[in-house]
Structure formats: C-alpha cells, structure tokens
A and B are shown apart, each in its own frame.
Chain A
Amino acid sequence: MKLYNGGKIITGLVIFLGVFLAPFAYNAGKAAYSQPKLKMPENEKECVESKEFMRTKHMQLLNEWRDAALRDGKRVYVNSKGKEFEMSLQKTCMKCHTNKAEFCDKCHNDAAVSPYCWDCHIQPEGVKK
C-alpha cells in the first residue's frame, strides 16, 4: 500500500499533535490543582445549610432567596434543621463571611467566574473608588 503525499501528511500530523499536546507538556511537572484555602468565619461553625450544599448550590440558593424576599415578601429562611435566617446577602451572609477577598474571590478567581453581585451589593469592607 502506498501513502500519497505521505511526507506532508506525516509532518502535518506531527505539527498538529505537537500543538494539541503543548498544554500538557507545559503543565507537566507542576503541582496538581488544589482547592484554595478559604478564610472561614471565626465565631460561627455552621452555615445556612451543609458545607457540601453551600459549595455546590449557593448560587441557586441566593437566587431563591432573592425571589422569595423581593416578590413574595418572605424574608426568613428556615433551614433543614429548623434554624431561622434573614434572607439577605449583605445582612446575613456577609455578617459571618466578613472578608470577600479571602472567601468569595478565592474560588471565583480559580474557577474564572465573575458574578456581578458587588456591582450593587456592598461588601463588608466597604466600597472604594
């Protein structure tokens, strides 16, 4: 069997594979991704829901809180253990998580997401120009 234009095809394949695998080569030997160390609240051990729930679903929970508080006027959240919280990002979440840079931003930066919460909401450390 004869491969027509074999030289070109094989060079092409080698270049393609080289470019395709470059990121792997570039990252080889570097430490694997590890979850960032967050600064947890000092006075409070338990969040509104379990750690796992908050980690994966806090965005949905915040959306639900927003709609319940604004549209239905229901501003108190009773969690699965019966504990009550006011549904408010500024008045509840950020009262414990007092450091946005050491808490929110760490994972958001790693995950390359930029939620627009702080375009309007005021972070605990205040707003600077």
Chain B
Amino acid sequence: MNNTRRNFLKFLGLAAAGLCTASAGSALAVGGAGATTKEGPQAVKAKRWAMVIDTKKVGTKETIDVLAKACHQAHNVPNIPTKQNVKWIWAASFEESFDQPNNYLDEELEKRQFPLLCNHCTNPPCVRVCPTQATYQRPDGIVAMDYHRCIGCRYCMAGCPFGARSFNFMEPRLHLDLANLNKEFPTRMRGVVEKCNFCVERLAQGKQPACVEASNGAVVFGDLADANSEVRKLLREHYTIRRKPSLGTEPGVYYII
C-alpha cells in the first residue's frame, strides 16, 4: 500500500511520454503509406548551373527582346507599361550593366545592349536576408523562390545588387494576355517578389531554359563544375566578365565581350 502513489505517478509519466511520441510519430508521416518521392527520369542535373552569354550575338534591344518574350511567355510574366513593370530578363547598356566606368569606351561597346537577369550567385544576398526562406539556394546553384511563402517584405530586392527582382505592385493578371497563358506554369499574385528561376521547371523535364532555346546558340547553359561542359569550353576560349565581381557574390552568368 505504501507504494501506490509512487506507482501511480510512474504510470502517469510513462503514459504521457507514450502519448507524446505516438502523436509526434503520426504527425511526421503525411504521404500515403509506403509512398516515396524521386527525381524525374528526364531531368538534367549539374553541380553548378551557369550561363554564358555571347553579347556580340545578342547585343541589340531587338535580339534581347526575343529572349525576353520567350521567357516571359513561358513564365506568365506580365507587361506593365509603368515603372512598376515585372521583368525576368531585360536589356541595359554597358555602363548600367558593369561597374567598369570608362569615359572613352569604344563606340560599338557604347551602343551595345546586354541581356540582364538573375545571376544565381554562389553567395546570394537575397537568400540571406529572406525572413521566410521563400528564396533559397538549391544544391545545383539555382536561386529559386517559393511564392507560397513570400510575404512581400522586399528585403531581397534591397539585398540584390543586380536589380534582378521585381515586385508585384498590382494584380499581375490584369496585365497578362489571359487567353495565351502558359497553363503548365502558375502566375503570381499581388504582393510577392519574383525573378528568373533559370527555368528549373524546364530542366526537370530535360529541356534547356527558354531564353537559351530562343537565342540560336548565343546563350549557352551548362554545368560550371564539369570541365568538359560547353560553358567551360566557351569560358576557356573567350574573354568573359561578370557583373560586379568585387561584391563577392560570385554570379553564375558570364558575358562574352
């Protein structure tokens, strides 16, 4: 009889612990019993995706517009005719693109336009500042976004030194051609930030990015970690520069000058 209270308390403790572990265990497994996930069979993979752009071939507003059109069509990016426009890839001058001011630039280079897009940096400041981890870096170097988690705080836009991010100041569907949407890809909603995603959804299907496909070989995409890849071959053979290398973000987009 002396033991009753002690035993009762022991039993109570054990029961509580059991209940805790049981409920935690059941909360972990959500997918159907025995279900697993895996990569698609056609997916192309790389250690570090990178892009090399031959600006001698895509060096005018018209040629860059072709790339932008392909990209924006593939990703349902609206065209808003104000300063609040959304862009994933766009054209800019040498001075706007690179931090190498030169008062006596040769005429050809002064006129040339450069396609600018998210650099998918190795050290992306946007990922560091995102408070919700809506922006994250994939193991293959792509800086991607989960729009479900974006709260529209725009820290990433302040953090990005390349202006690669756009904010949806208004409902983007008001400025989209709703009859010609790409039904394989979502749109965005008002109040989220968006940017180039290096076409992760196309890479998963074994396709090349939309701008690469539209560029007729002027834009090349490949694995920077593979010494035999086409991007590495181009980097070996040509003089290339990157945007703002002094900031140490290690951009993944290279420009052949």
Point out residues on A near B: beta carbons under 8 Å: 48-50, 53, 57, 60-61, 63-64, 66-68, 70-80, 86-87, 90-91, 116, 119-122, 124, 126-129
Contacts and interface: CB of A to CB of B under 8 A. Distances in A.
A122 to B, nearest CB: 5
Given A71-B146, A76-B40, 14 more contacts: A57-B30, A64-B30, A73-B140, A73-B204, A74-B37, A74-B39, A76-B39, A77-B37, A78-B37, A79-B35, A80-B35, A121-B186, A122-B183, A122-B187
A91 B201 CA distance: 12
B234 interface: no
Main secondary structure of the interface of B (DSSP, over half): loop
B181 A120 contact: no
A64 B204 contact: no
Given A78-B35, A127-B173, A73 B188 contact: no
Contacts of A129: 173-174, 178
B134 to A, nearest CB: 10
Contacts of A57: 30
A70 B34 CA distance: 22
16 contacts: A49-B32, A61-B31, A71-B146, A74-B37, A75-B39, A76-B40, A77-B31, A80-B32, A80-B33, A80-B35, A86-B40, A120-B147, A122-B183, A126-B178, A127-B187, A129-B173
Interface of B: 30-41, 43, 76, 136, 138, 140, 144, 146-148, 173-174, 178-179, 181, 183-189, 200, 204
